[in-house]
Structure 1
Amino acid sequence: MPAVFPAPSASELWTLPGGLRVAFERRAGPGFAFDLRLPVGSAHDPHGLEGSSGVLEEWLFKGAAGRDARALQDAFDDLGVRRGGGVGPEATRFGVSGLRDDLRASLALVADVLLRPDLPETELPVLTDLARQDLDGLQDSPPDLLALEARRVTFPRPAASPLAGFAHPPSGTPEGLEALTADTLRAHLEAYGQAGAVLGLVADLEPEAARALVAGTLDGLRPGEQPHAPADFQPRQRIHVTDEDAEQTHLSLTAPGIAPRDPRWLAWQVALTALSGGSASRLFHAVREERGLAYAVSASPVLLGGQGFLTAYAGSTPARAPETLEVMLAELARLPQGLSADEFRRARSGLKASVVFGAESMRARAGALTRDVAVFGRVRPLAELREGLDALTLEGVNDFLAGYDPVSDITVVTLGPSNV
């Protein structure tokens, strides 16, 4: 007997007087999930103070509203909720899920963390030391080092920008961590507020009750800021980072893609799924199955600065890395020739399945609501997504691909013992 998932009610979107946008979806059941997205991430760290967002997010949970760090953790644990979130390049997220009766208390605790943090200065040396350990750990992960170098090359910080940009992890840089102070972090906290913030909420509540609950707990958030770190793509770069101790060569490719609000977005998603969406995808078959060139190969969309980019990765042996790159570029160059009927059918079916199963979890749905509003400017109803995918045709996707050339402007960054 097929599984039956609860049908969600139509989502609602409203804005608090201070600017916080709330996307609410009612779903029958005893649980709740919310995802609060603040548009301040590691790319918005002040230049020279890299690590501000990452350290601040940790510092916020070292006590709030008169509770020390242990008491604050106990307050969350006493509710039996699950917490998630963290710092990404363009946002900091706070996610909580649990039983519906604990929703108000959970929202109030997050409000305490953001509005009434203790920020004990004695904790800062510990937090910055942990961040340095994270940076040391990156040295043991060539794929992560390559990702950072690719961001630096592909999306460099404009010289006049006061923001650090995309070329460092949330943990920061050694120099940035050294320069952090309690005062600079408190100043950075002023950006964490309602401007540009989005709350995705899924719970079995009447919409008016949900509206009143959110307003009663989060309406006091400070105004905040919505900084913008430009993603100024640098085309046709070829950079090799030499690592004599590396046993593999790692390849990173970045090309222009389609912006989320472009009507061709879904067609691009289908094309990327055909390119790298499982064992039947083009990259997996051509690079790994047919030639055995790489132990890992993939491609995915990346969103930065409101733009879409295609990124691809492979890990190969130094001797076979040049051929790996050649085959990857050939597969990307083949996209304008279009998909076969079987490729189109599999890719579209895979996307439809991800839409259905992505909505099953309350936590995943709350995150999707937040992402939709932040990225697309509205909530995309599940029925609309399914209908949009159903409306795609092989001819329509191939018409799009005929004009899509990811290779001519592609930037390639590699890391390994010898140049590729």
Structure 2
Amino acid sequence: MLSTQSPPIQTRTLDNGLTVVVQPMPWLRTAAYTLWLPAGITTELVGLSESQLADPEYLACRDGLASLTCEMVQRGAGAYNSRQLVAAEDNLGIDSGNSAATSVAGYSARMPAESLLPAIELLADVVRRPHLPGNQFDDAKMILRQELAAFQDEPTQRLMRRLRERQYGPSLGRGGYASEASLEALSMDDVRQFYTDQYHAGGSVLAVAGNFDANQIFDSIEQSFGDWKSGKRPALPSPAPIDGNEHIELPSSQTHIGFSFDSIPYGSDDYFVMRAGIGILSDGMSSRLFDRVREQRGLCYSVWASTHTIGQHGAVFGYAGTTPARAQETLDVSLREIQHLADDLEQEELSRWKVRIESGLIMEQESAGSRASSLASDQYQLGRVIPTEELEAKIEAITLDQVASYFRQHGPRQFRIVTVGPEALQGGETLA
């Protein structure tokens, strides 16, 4: 358990719907923010007709629109052109980044504590007053083209993107990379329209952590964002999973294996019990998959499983990388370890996982960036932040019997499997 109580978390919602969450960490010399806007990958589909949603070729022409908008909003904003904006951040020691995820566009930054107030003002310029310069549109598309080329050259990324599409369906599991079709079809007008429609305060979350005065930060955010336009947070598409196996043929000396199965989302009553089981399977070098599949049998060079949440839907995704000769056995043994997790659980495994989680919580208290990200994630997904003390109590209360009982009742009944390599594999059929 942590030896000291963490500082209180304060939450306010502005009149325009922006929720602000702050947690002072006075022992640090740094500060950080994370802004989540409901302008993610699935919002590329908002407003489309049923016929457009049913047309894969049309949907492909929208691929990467959220990411392209993230790129364009940083090319000059407020009183700064593109170069001046970069220089302003550098002069303040700001390390910033952005990305488009399934349901959100995320903007985050870390900086010396004394730079936080001007950093918030710069953030307001970027998301509220971007120039969106048409003369830099081709440069922005070139970056997406380079990302696409890197993605196409990396079998693991291709595998996991396709597995995600099969787990959640083509809309909810939509990927963030552009396509050749969208790089040709997307226009500056598309970006401007997407920005106008999706960038607003409604349903957005701004989290700040680090060394600062909370009242001063609330005042600064109110001044910078209080008159920002509001809007509705779009609903996520419904899942439309694709069952069974899929093989992507690739002449190679390696076989990449991806598997997934239905689970429960973050926020569910049994989430941390389920998470403990997946942690025993795959958290650390002493976990079952790493030890029993990789170390003891020497079947693969990499193997892991992790939990994933989109809205009210959850899944477990896993991966193994091996040689074609060992691929089928790698898949069989990995799935068997998951299916029979509850058969021989040991208290030492659960205790070891709890220590790892506690270590992560301690390290989070030393990182303003990690804490701001956690605050934003909790608030956006759950509508509240789970205090560190509450999370510790939940973890400490988990028993081995709870983990065993959960996986006996709710273990995987069916796997979805995608493989990349020279030969297809068998497995993943519905379980009794």
With normalisation by structure 2, the TM-score equals 0.90
* Among 420, 428, 431, the residue aligned to 1:415: 420
1:77-128 superposed Cα distances (whole Å, 9 cap, x missing partner): 1111221332222221111222333222111111111111111101111211
* Among 223, 227, 248, the residue aligned to 1:220: 227
Q: Which residue pairs with 2:142 in the alignment?
A: 129
1:178 correspondence with 2:184: yes
* Among 297, 300, 310, the residue aligned to 1:304: 310
CA RMSD of aligned residues (A): 1.9
Displacement after TM superposition at 1:185 (Å): 0.7
Instruction: Calculate percent identity across the aligned residue pairs.
Output: 28
1:42 correspondence with 2:55: no
AA aligned opposite 2:233: Q
In 2, distance between residues paired with 1:224 and 1:198?
13
In 1, distance between residues paired with 2:367 and 2:129?
31
Q: Is the Cα contact below 8 Å between 2:31 and 2:212 reproduced in 1?
A: no
Q: Which residue pairs with 2:199 in the alignment?
A: 192
Q: Which residue pairs with 2:341 in the alignment?
A: 335
1:351-388 superposed Cα distances (whole Å, 9 cap, x missing partner): 22212212221111111100111122211111111111
1:326 correspondence with 2:339: no
Q: Is the Cα contact below 8 Å between 2:166 and 2:243 reproduced in 1?
A: no
What secondary structure sits across from 1:65 in the alignment?
coil
1:330-370 superposed Cα distances (whole Å, 9 cap, x missing partner): 01110243621111111122122212212221111111100
AA aligned opposite 2:395: L
What secondary structure sits across from 1:319 in the alignment?
helix
Q: Which residue pairs with 1:60 in the alignment?
A: 73
Q: Which residue pairs with 1:275 in the alignment?
A: 281
With normalisation by structure 1, the TM-score equals 0.92
What secondary structure sits across from 1:294 in the alignment?
coil
In 1, distance between residues paired with 2:154 and 2:3?
40
Unaligned runs of 5+ in 1: 158-163
AA aligned opposite 1:55: L
Q: Which residue pairs with 2:208 in the alignment?
A: 201
AA aligned opposite 2:157: D
1:18-48 superposed Cα distances (whole Å, 9 cap, x missing partner): 0011111122144321111112222322333
Q: Which residue pairs with 2:55 in the alignment?
A: none
Q: Which residue pairs with 1:21 in the alignment?
A: 19
1:360 correspondence with 2:366: yes
What secondary structure sits across from 1:97 in the alignment?
strand
1:247-299 superposed Cα distances (whole Å, 9 cap, x missing partner): 21111111111221211111111111100011211111221112111111000
In 1, distance between residues paired with 2:113 and 2:213?
12
Unaligned runs of 5+ in 2: 46-58, 426-432
1:166 correspondence with 2:194: no
- Structure 1's 131 and 235: CA in aligned 2 closer, same or farther, altered over 3 A? closer
